[in-house]
Structure 1
Amino acid sequence: MLKINKVHHIAIIASDYQKSKHFYTEILGLQIVREVYREARDSYKLDLAIGENYVIELFSFPNPPARPSRPEACGLRHLAFEVENVAEAKQNLESKGIEVEDSRIDEFTGKKFTFFADPDDLPIEFYEQ
């Protein structure tokens, strides 16, 4: 049987690399592991981590096609980050000018969660620990 250990990373292609880099590093606080410019592809690749966990590869590519995220489209639905306190995380984002949905309660787990969007309208969830 195939044995998968964990999710290694999530790859995101940004329409505006600098804007998305700022969002993921300055707004969400992910740490930069490395950033490289790949001349042959005219593309940046930014590796990001939460603590010691490598989580996101942020890419730039010239003229990437738009991908619908709302209404919900087939494919990857959203990216979720675990937080200790959804209300505090929501307040933190709103203080930085990020629009955040009202918090809700997961009907199956009783945990709080909320959604907001990255600069390309990728849905992101904060889910309470």
Structure 2
Amino acid sequence: MLRTIHHAAIICSDYPRARAFYTEILGLRIVAENHRIARDSWKLDLALPGGGQIELFSFPDPPPRPSRPEACGLRHLAFTVSDLEAACARLARHGVQVEPVRTDEFTGRRFTFFADPDGLPLELYEIPEN
């Protein structure tokens, strides 16, 4: 029945800052960008490698996230990378703080967390290319 995740939707507090973070720092390609005048809202569709998308929304005065990351609901978004060290270095060059690298006790894979401009927890999960 289910085949894959089509998209994850994120609401940001500062659209230009979030747009720059996801496109310039994370390097996601813009699929579509629309301003919805009636809602004073932007909707930015971003392509993820592998076919999924992120929908980045802006709304006037969105409420803050209750807590990080153990609030009920979506805990974090995880992205695979083939070289965790290189991905962390790229983030650091852009002033993004990255947590110390850890190893998943069940899979043996290395991972780390960082945050988007609104504090949304994001994960890098290393799966080396064959």
Kept in 2, the 8 Å contact 1:69–1:121? The answer is no
Matched residues, number: 127
Offset of residue 54 of structure 1: 3.6
**TM-score, normalising length: structure 2:** 0.93
Q: Report SS of the residue matched to 1:82.
A: strand
Identity of aligned residues (%): 61
CA RMSD of aligned residues (A): 1.1
Once the two structures are superposed, residues 37-93 of structure 1 have per-residue CA deviations (whole angstroms, 9 ceiling, x without a partner) of: 111111100000024624100001011111124252111000000000111111111
Offset of residue 96 of structure 1: 1.0
Q: Report SS of the residue matched to 1:7.
A: coil
Q: Distance in 2 between matches of 1:120 and 1:59?
A: 12
Aligned in 2, Cα 1:82/1:51: closer, same or farther, shift over 3 Å?
Answer: closer
1:20-39 pair list within 5 angstroms: 20-39=18-37
Q: Distance in 1 between matches of 2:8 and 2:69?
A: 22
Hey, which bits of structure 1, 4+ residues long, moved more than 3 A? none
Q: Which residue of 1 aligns with 2:91?
A: 93
* 1:49 maps onto 2:47 in alignment: yes
Q: Distance in 2 between matches of 1:6 and 1:49?
A: 14
* Residue segments in structure 1 that go unaligned for 5+ positions in a row: none
Q: Which residue of 2 aligns with 1:5?
A: 3
